[in-house]
Amino acid sequence: MWDLLTRRQVIHRAFGAFALGLGMHRGLAAGRQLPDRESTKFEEVNENHQVDRDMTVAPQPPIMGESMPDRWNVLPVRALLLFSPDPPDVDLFCRFVREVLPKEGVNVLVLLFRYRYKFRTHPELADRAAIGRDDVKKILEACRAAGVKLIPKMNLLAHQSEQTEIMPLLKHFPQFDESPDLNPPNPWHPNGQFGFYTKSLCPRHPDLFSMIFPLMDELIEACEADAFHVALDEVWIIAHDRCPRCGGMDPAEVFGQYATSLRNHLAEKKCRMWMWSDRLIDGKTTNLLSWQASTNNTHRAIDMIPKDIVICDWKYEDAPPTPGYFAVKGFDVLPSTCYKVD
Ligand SMILES: [Zn+2]
């Protein structure tokens, strides 16, 4: 794996997230493209793209602790993911952006809206904690003052329910439910990877894009964004056998076509698509199972989607070498951590 990575002149390192509070969900650290002949402390790449290093010494993992800030600051993307603030907390949130993010070296803020936004095209989708366009403009101003790029995020496939609560899009437009016959157990009984998790949209519903594209466009305009995070994580319900459009189809094909359509729309808006990695990893052969990888046969979609999508490879507990897998496939990849710094 190491040799393949260096041959492609790609290096990436996970440097861990940091607990900054305010509802942090997942931290994103950066992948890095190495130009020709650039060297690091870890290896040097010569004209023939061969590695010049002592092969008797195993590559060392990044050193954590006091040297961490130096190493973190060489990464081009040093991102933090947070939920959008509740309406009364917008000013406090802006102060946090201005005062804390520059000190921590953060240069990208991914803001997870879900339905916490007062959409003009669909006001009925705004949930209780929705903020408005003016609030987002305030956050954008704070980000600019802090030298931080703002990227909006919505969950555009799964996570359309939370335990037994159906989220606004499917509540108001149940026709987009991939599995109307399959509902969260009430009362909720978690049953691990064999239980119900979250509802999904039907990615092949003919009216879905005319519903979600305007929502995306509103967030792009409010954030003045040149990138958009579409999530696509933890999709357990896809190509559901009772969906009249998707039943019997290859889940990888359904997933790949949907991701490509989102990417194409974002490309028209001059936005680069970011997405989570888990549906593109085979959870059975890697033993990464059903959350941080796919056990429902979507993983072959990795060869069906455009390579300009940025893959955010999240892991909560450990650091398997999956960022290298995406890099070898030709993607830019951001190793993304949460609870642990190493
Ligand atoms: Zn469907």
How large is the average pLDDT for residues 307-324?
Answer: 94
Helix (H) or strand (E) holding 223: helix 208-223
The angle subtended at Cα 79 by Cα 300 and Cα 212, nearest 5°, is: 55
Distance from Cα 177 to the centre of ligand 1, integer Å:
8
Distance from Cα 258 to the centre of ligand 1, integer Å:
11
Residue with the bigger pLDDT between 151 and 14: it is 151
Alpha helices in 237-330 (DSSP H): 251-268, 322-328
Contact between 198 and 166 (Cβ < 8 Å): no
How large is the average pLDDT for residues 314-329?
Answer: 94
* Whole-structure pTM value: 0.82
Give the model confidence (pLDDT) of 137-182 as tens digits. 999 999 999 999 999 999 999 999 998 999 999 999 999 999 999 9
Q: How long, in residues, is the chain? A: 342
What is the structure's pLDDT at 299?
A: 98
Q: What are phi and psi of 20, to 5 degrees?
A: -105, 0
Distance from Cα 208 to the centre of ligand 1, integer Å:
10
Distance from Cα 304 to the centre of ligand 1, integer Å:
19
pLDDT at position 56 over 60? no
What is the structure's pLDDT at 55?
A: 43
Alpha helices in 129-167 (DSSP H): 133-145
Q: How confident is the model at residue 27 (pLDDT cuts 50, 70, 90)?
A: low
Distance from Cα 305 to the centre of ligand 1, integer Å:
19
Cα(62)–Cα(71) distance, integer angstroms: 8
Distance from Cα 246 to the centre of ligand 1, integer Å:
4
Distance from Cα 260 to the centre of ligand 1, integer Å:
16
Contact between 258 and 203 (Cβ < 8 Å): yes
Give the model confidence (pLDDT) of 84-105 as tens digits. 999 999 999 999 999 999 999 9
Structure tokens at 161: 């329910």
Distance from Cα 19 to the centre of ligand 1, integer Å:
38
What is the structure's pLDDT at 32?
A: 31
Distance from Cα 326 to the centre of ligand 1, integer Å:
27
Distance from Cα 280 to the centre of ligand 1, integer Å:
19
Residues sharing a CB contact under 8 Å with residue 147, sequence separation 6 or more, in sequence order: 102, 107
Distance from Cα 325 to the centre of ligand 1, integer Å:
29
How large is the average pLDDT for residues 242-246?
Answer: 97
The residues that bridge with 149 in the sheet, in sequence order, are 108
Distance from Cα 244 to the centre of ligand 1, integer Å:
7
Dmax of the chain from CA atoms? Answer: 63
Q: Is 80 exposed, middle or buried (0-12, 13-18, 19+ CB in 10 A)?
A: buried
How far apart are the two ends of the chain, measured CA to CA in Å?
20
Distances (CA, A) of 27 to 83, 255, 338: 12, 25, 5
Distance from Cα 114 to the centre of ligand 1, integer Å:
21
Distance from Cα 181 to the centre of ligand 1, integer Å:
12
DSSP 263: H
Cα(122)–Cα(214) distance, integer angstroms: 9
Distance from Cα 243 to the centre of ligand 1, integer Å:
5
